Structure 1
Amino acid sequence: MLFDIFRNLVHYGFHFLMPILFAYLFWRKNWKIAALIMIATMAIDLDHLLADPIFDPERCGIGFHPLHSLWAAIAYVVLLFMPSWKLKAVAVGCLFHLFTDSLDCYMGSLKKEMNAPITLSLAVTQCPISVPSLSVN
């Protein structure tokens, strides 16, 4: 439960608070507009509406949703090279969105490992010491 709270704080904090910090660091003169632009890049999550089910807490969206794909990431990188600072803000917002969702996927995999039953099977199969078999003739 505590891990879920931490995971959600990180996920949504990164989606909504980090763009404000980036805007202030990179576009200090226009930081408010840049922050709004980067927060507006949350609209790439509209591609979740194409999935069935629309929301699956166990699914990692990276590579699954069209605007969360490698091709989309390449397009976002191309935007970084455009002369407009607004397009650069869109690119930074989208790329950081993908980073945030990737981090959430990683944290989701950690949660699965934390909830897995503890067994000795992994330790036994990876034991470097050879144990002689005890066979009775």
Structure 2
Amino acid sequence: MSSRAIVHLFLHAAIPALLAWMFWRKRFLSAWALMLLGWIIDLDHLLADPIYAPNRCSIGFHPLHTAPAIAVYAGLCVPKKTRLFGIGLMIHIVLDAMDCWLMHAGSARG
């Protein structure tokens, strides 16, 4: 596994933890867990062949990583009952988009 992939996975856990600590400290564990549920959208990787391709951009490729799905995730950030889950989904999408950008920037250089 590449260092980029390791950092990417680490950030998927660390950023929700940091936000939970900063904004929901009294309920840190539950806030962090609800944001970590954003990883559930990676179930759409099971529909791909191969399931994991280290240099494939998820955004726009997997069904739960497309614009209509992202619009739903943004909407989930509004109601208080779904806000933490929605934030977790949006963090996931932003991190995946950043990973795509890094992949493209790396391939352009080299």
Which runs of no fewer than 5 residues in structure 1 stay unpaired? 116-137
Matched to 1:76, the amino acid is Y
TM-score, structure 1 as length reference: 0.73
Which protein has the bigger helix share?
Answer: 2
Q: CA RMSD in A?
A: 1.4
1:107: how far off?
A: 0.8
Larger RCO, structures 1/2 (Cα 8 Å, 6+ apart): 2
- Matched-pair identity in %: 39
Residue aligning to 2:16: 19
SS of the aligned residue for 1:112 comes to helix
Alignment partner of 1:79 is 2:76 = yes
Q: Deviations over 1:1-48 (max 9, x none)?
A: xxx42x234311210111100111222221111101111221110100
SS of the aligned residue for 1:46 comes to helix
Which runs of no fewer than 5 residues in structure 2 stay unpaired? none
Instruction: Give the count of matched residue pairs.
Output: 109
Matched to 1:56, the amino acid is A
Runs of 4 or more consecutive aligned structure 1 residues displaced over 3 Å after TM superposition: none
User: Which structure would you say has the larger Rg?
Assistant: 1
Residue aligning to 2:67: 70
TM-score, structure 2 as length reference: 0.90
